[in-house]
Amino acid sequence: MSKVQDVSVGGLFIETLKVCKVDTPIELHFLVEDGEIRATATVRYVSANRGMGLQFKAVRSEDQERFSLMIKRLLHITGKEK
């Protein structure tokens, strides 16, 4: 399990000392109040001793509504809503 930061519709940053190479595909599993969300992402950048930035590639079709609700909640909490 890793700490997630800076989540947006396009991707997220994961704090971890266990990083992968740029362009590595990653399977993501989120457990949120609405249920589980599974998505795929690609490593876009690595920050040594800090973590890595991931770009979302796909969200399972059955999880898309939960994913949308999660992003809306997070944007509201951080004040980044438009």
CB 28 within 8 A of CB 54: yes
Question: In total, how many domains does the chain have?
Answer: 1
Measure the CA angle with vertex 51, ends 14 and 7; round to 5°: 25
pLDDT band at 78 (very low <50, low <70, confident <90, very high): low
pLDDT exceeds 70 at position 5: yes
Q: What residues contact 16, with CB distance under 8 A and at least 6 apart?
A: 2, 3, 51, 52
Which carries the bigger pLDDT value, residue 5 or residue 69? Answer: 69
Provide the domain limits for residue 14.
Answer: 3-78
What is this structure's pTM? Answer: 0.79
What are the backbone angles phi and psi of residue 48, rounded to the nearest 5°? -50, 135
* Residue pLDDT, tens place only, 8-65: 788 999 999 888 999 999 999 888 887 889 999 999 999 988 999 999 999 999 999 8
Domain of 71, CATH number, reads 2.40.10
Distance CA 64, CA 23 (A): 23
Distance CA 26, CA 31 (A): 16
